[in-house]
Amino acid sequence: MRSTGADNKEKLLDKTSELIEVLELSANLDDFTELNDVNIHQFSNAVVAVQDQMDSLVDYDLADMKCVTSTLKQGNAFLKNVPDLLHNQLKVKFEMNWQGKHRARHAVLTEYSSLLLWCKVHDDKIFQAISQTYEVITAKIYDREINNFFAKKLIFIQKRSKADQGFSFVGKQSAQSMMDISGSQRALHRGSMGSVDSVNKGSGDSLVSFNQQNEQLSKFDKHFREVLEYVEPLVIEEEDNLHKVFGIPLVQHTNPDVSDEVAKEIKASNQQMERLLIKLFGKLENELKNLVDLSFKVDNYHSLYMYVRLVQHMKGEDGRVSPFMSKCYGTSLILVKRLFTLFIRTQEQQILEQKVPKKGRCGILHCVRGFEHFTRDAEKIFVRQERRIEIEKAYQSLLSSIFKAINRIAEEQIKVAPEIVMFENYHHVYTLLCVLNLPCLTSEQKEALKEFNTNLERYVKVHLGNPIEKISNFFTGVKASLASGVKHEEVGYQLTFSRHELKSVIKASTFKDIKKGVEQAIHKMEKHLNPEEGLFPKSCDCMCDHLISQIKEYEELIKLCYPDSGLKFEFRKEEISSLFRDYISAKDTAV
């Protein structure tokens, strides 16, 4: 067993070592009479060490020794001076020119984080003074920087307002519209959205103007994205800085399972960060509002771009969402949604009031072209968006107005048959909706197809003549006779519808005669149809189907009313089909 003397000797050595450490620390404090970037780490370590020593010496059993008393006095004097040294040093740091160099500023301030946290515990009054100084100075830096940044963006947008016109579905020139397509017919080729090819070509000036305006919209989108990509990291990085340097808790999301007390603590903690960010970025929300207002005044179409970009950033591009920025974006988004709705309502009104073209044929209406352009651009920027309810409602509402405009203008114009305006425009809309392939527009797509087919069939029947007119006239009488009550087997006993009369009609309706009638109809068709819409083959097919349908019906009537007569047409259905195929093939070759 160890002796009592050995135990005492060991305790004495331990106490002596403790005393030496205390005295050595005291001796080194003279090296820390000032605080700067060079000695920040050593200074911080010294403060922590001295504080630990001061705490441990309070109940030190050798505290009555003169050297220990002196050390306590010296340590307390050192610690008492630290908050003022820290405040003065940080004030210098705060007032440096950090504009545009916030990451560097945060990196410098992070070096002082341990001292600030110590100050918060041991001298909260000075800590609050430091925090207040930081808030005032930093708010001025951010205000100046944000103001300059937004001023440059506003200048760009104002320049655009003088440079071009805005969008309109009906080609009206105004500061509220984007695209003047009045009096022009332009060709859009399949792009990233696969927009339909079949649109009219226009003058070179119109196409150049359209391209320039599209370029302006792309520039606006780029600048608006730059705004959001600038302000959001600015705020998020400042949140991180406040957390690291001043110990402000990051915003937490309340779990519904936590107790009311914990939820209250989280709310209070979140409010602390929010209050600080409001002080530092107080003008940001108003700057965003001014930008949105001016952008909309310059071009209503901007509301579409702004809506999508704000929704994207509210979700957080990198998975992290700043509650403060979400609130700012939310306020702007409410305004943008209201403006976007106004934009759509204005376009609907213009569509419904679109006038009949005074010169030339209608062709594809401006509102149909405008909708094509609108959907192409909208789908490009909505391509990865989950929230589509606003744009889909806009599509449906605009199409409703467009369908009304097509029907009205078709009846009001006098250049061509109403059916031509109807089936060409409904075909254009249907083709576009097939390319878009949006479930929300299934009903409109079906309606456009129905209107196209109905009006094409009516056009073929009413406006192209009948190549088998003699046959049709004869059997029209037969059908009327049957409708009046005459039996099938008794029709041939009527002088007007005798076998002899039928035989004469058949003999007078040779394939050569039919071919001549078809050629006349084809000639009319070529004069009526817009070649760029590409409906010649479809119209030929429709006419061919109509003819063959008639022939089948008449053949069936011959079997019923003239059984065992042996009468047949002097042409075959296959010949008629081949005739139309030849015309279509010749047209394709010519093109």
**Could you read off the pLDDT of 220-240 as tens digits, one per residue?**
889 999 999 999 999 999 999
Contact in structure between 535 and 423 (CB atoms under 8 Å)? yes
The Cβ-side half-sphere exposure at 248, using a 13 Å CA radius, reads 21
Question: Which two structure tokens, joined as six digits, stand for 447?
Answer: 């309606």
Q: How confident is the model at residue 268 (pLDDT cuts 50, 70, 90)?
A: confident
- The per-residue b/e assignment along 283-307, b for 16 or more CB within 10 angstroms, e otherwise, is ebbebbeebbeebbbbbbbbbbbbb
What CA–CA distance (Å, rounded) separates 144 from 55?
A: 46
493: pLDDT strictly greater than 50: yes
Question: Which two structure tokens, joined as six digits, stand for 65?
Answer: 């020794």
Mean per-residue pLDDT for 282-288?
A: 94
150: pLDDT strictly greater than 90: yes
pLDDT of residue 57: 67
Q: Cα separations (Å) of 273 from 78, 80, 116, 135, 476?
A: 32, 29, 17, 12, 86
Mean per-residue pLDDT for 163-172?
A: 60
What CA–CA distance (Å, rounded) separates 393 from 372?
A: 16
- The per-residue b/e assignment along 555-569, b for 16 or more CB within 10 angstroms, e otherwise, is eebbeebbeeeeeeb
What CA–CA distance (Å, rounded) separates 320 from 317?
A: 7
| The residue type at 548 | I
**CA dihedral sign, ordered 165, 171, 176, 178:** negative
pLDDT of residue 414: 86
**Could you read off the pLDDT of 52-105 as tens digits, one per residue?**
777 776 655 565 667 667 777 877 888 888 899 999 999 988 988 877 789 999
| The residue type at 339 | L
Of 91, 52, 96, which is closest to residue 75 (Cα–Cα)? 52
| The residue type at 360 | G
Of 240, 253, 384, which is closest to residue 311 (Cα–Cα)? 384
**What contacts 565, CB < 8 A, 6 or more positions away?**
492, 499, 502, 558
Number of neighbours of residue 478 by Cβ within 10 angstroms: 23
**What contacts 133, CB < 8 A, 6 or more positions away?**
87, 90, 91, 94
Contact in structure between 368 and 406 (CB atoms under 8 Å)? yes
**Could you read off the pLDDT of 175-216 as tens digits, one per residue?**
333 333 323 222 222 222 223 333 333 333 434 444 566 777
129: pLDDT strictly greater than 90: yes
Number of neighbours of residue 142 by Cβ within 10 angstroms: 23
Q: What is the pTM of this model?
A: 0.76
pLDDT of residue 279: 94
pLDDT of residue 301: 87
H or E element: which one contains 349? helix 323-352
pLDDT of residue 359: 77
Q: Cα separations (Å) of 446 from 196, 394, 440, 456?
A: 18, 18, 12, 15
Comparing 9-13, 248-252, 493-497, the range with the smallest average pLDDT is: 9-13
**Could you read off the pLDDT of 416-451 as tens digits, one per residue?**
899 999 999 999 999 999 999 999 999 999 999 999
Q: Cα separations (Å) of 480 from 466, 484, 495, 572?
A: 19, 6, 15, 26
| The residue type at 84 | D
End-to-end CA distance of the chain: 116
Q: What 3-state DSSP class applies to 535?
A: coil
Q: Where are the alpha helices (DSSP H) in 123-259?
A: 124-163, 204-246
Cα 144 from chain centre: 31
Give me the phi and psi of 197, to 5 degrees please.
-80, -30
